[in-house]
Amino acid sequence: MATSIPRLLLGFLLAPGIPVLVLYIVNLQLVPRNDAEFGAVMFFLMAYIAALLVGIPAYCLAWRLRVSALRGYALLGALAGLVFHAIILISFAPPFSLAQAERLLLLTNNSGTGAIVAAAYAAVSGALFWVIAVWPGRTGKL
């Protein structure tokens, strides 16, 4: 699984952002423009933060385990999305006490949809990363 450095960098630069662009275009048809723009900016920021915090270690794990299949990168992407979602959830959870137990319970109950979205988004990003940076049929050239 030899990957050139330029393709690897291009993968980390493009893979998190391409789904944002697609979601933005779809949202322009469904919601007001301001809402679509706000959602795109938020997804963009979260996607690149996730790529830095979780995506790079996930790639290192894939490299170490010699994962070379699209399915493996999509699965690792989905797991990375769930890990990042858990990091966000834990970061914003209040300190646990009996007085705040109800708020913590509501936060975790409402996070199921967020976990699904994070896993799906990261699986698509992982698959795109594989196409850009890893695809075994490619030569070392861009």
At 47-95, the pLDDT tens digits run 999 999 999 999 999 999 999 899 999 999 999 999 999 888 777 766 6
CA distances in angstroms from 94 to 98, 108, 110, listed in the order given: 11, 11, 15
How far is the CA of 24 from the CAs of 20, 38, 63, 121, in angstroms?
6, 9, 32, 13
Higher confidence at residue 84 or residue 112? 84
Q: Which two tokens stand for residue 29?
A: 């048809």
Q: What is the amino acid identity at position 49?
A: I
pLDDT at position 110 is: 65
Which residue has better confidence, 90 or 46? 46
Residue 138 has pLDDT above 80, yes or no: no
Dihedral angle of Cα 15, 20, 26, 32, to the nearest 10 degrees:
-170
Mean pLDDT, to the nearest integer, of 40-46? 92
Give the whole-angstrom CA distance, residue 103 versus residue 70: 39
Taking residues 114-119, what's their average pLDDT? Answer: 89
For 139, phi and psi rounded to 5 degrees? -85, 180
pTM across the whole model:
0.83
* Residue 98 predicted with pLDDT over 80: no
Degrees (nearest 5) of the Cα angle 39, 42, 46? 135
Q: Is residue 20 predicted with pLDDT exceeding 90?
A: yes
Q: CA torsion sign, 41 to 47 to 51 to 54? A: positive
Residues in contact with 113: Cβ distance below 8 Å, sequence separation at least 6, in sequence order: none
User: Phi and psi dihedrals of 96, rounded to 5?
Assistant: -75, 125
